[in-house]
Structure 1
């Protein structure tokens, strides 16, 4: 990666890369949701450009479209990272989730359904994490960075039409979170059914309510643990069903949620659910006692 700490002769290749750095970092961060991972991807892109540069005699003349070439490299590296994550059932992430804003949920008011996703933007962050790697790449590159579908298809090794279909599928999931008009009641019902099934230990019902590729993110005192897949999430929900003595429905950054307390009244956890197409696609759980103690939580119902 170019060293900007000391003056040295101008390096056209390094200058060209630096002109693209912010955009590349933005692409990688949207793809991966982690600033640390995005920096690593940009670093790897620089190393690959350096190796490419060695073959073209010290400049970037051998690359007809440097911005496009770098975008492709960053996208492919990011895709590999996403696929590796999904191949593992549990990973630890560096980035912390946004602060939760928790408000009582006393049932849907007509105007509330139209503004659920305007709160803080956690819903979009979580739903991006729930997308398949190929869906996320197609959506991020096309809808957020205007990369043509034929180029996206080449990155994925698929046809242009297949890339369009992946982006369309991802777009529907994102829009379901961003524009929940008329769906607030249905989302609450899905979450309530999930919580009831967890209390009963009804594994089959939990599986029915969870998207097969559901993502559970747990914010603990030592970091964020991510569990992937309906079977593992359902098993965990069944095992922890009796942990909370008190609980109530809430809205967490505009998402249907649930707060539980220990019998002594100290907070146990805050849960936020992302529901798309009638199933729970993501669950975000805050269990860090220090963070819970600082939050302005409603009283137990």
Structure 2
């Protein structure tokens, strides 16, 4: 069995692209293609489907990817042990986050301390971010409202509160003490999709307070909510950790119970001592509250 071929396959499986796999391995794209072609021909198996836009794993490819991910994960751990005393100068870190606002200052701190590290950042909703971490497509992740589970290491970052998002000039903008939950009853709102963590927290708080906003639009991104509020289609909600500097909108505190979210930094326990992951996780205690 040729480990170079397996390493090439593993890189394509992780990256979903021959080009990105080549960059990951610091070899040419034809070399990656050749390794995988030889592997498939030798074992008379199809591991990848190549389309115009992306590379997809076959059923056999999915099974092999699970093995190679674990196998080369152990190789990475062996490298950590052998290089424990070397200075952290280079490397690549896969980071996932359910929003940009908390992770960007951490990436800035990482770059300041270790300028040679390359970071690949993937942004998605809370479910996608957690899934990326658990499947080890991400090394570390910034998460919101994740419960402890076996094999997952979590460190607290900060807490945030849900605020009302109103268009600039709205009467509530002048309320220094914020608004009460009861004032949101029957108010026309534009909100994230129900699967959004911020939306779930808000819906539960409304239910507990006996408040029923009128949801006019459900949108799949924070940016879309901001645009809808700016267009005066309704009021939105936003986490205090993700308040936009857009002058067209204004965040107003909401007074009530159950409007707090916890943000955490996570990695898989078995990989916590990998040098790049450890370096990033150590940024958590110094993150401003």
Structure 1 length as normaliser, TM-score?
Answer: 0.25
* Structure with the larger RCO, 1 or 2 (CA within 8 Å, 6+ apart): 2
Higher relative helix content: 1
Higher relative strand content: 2
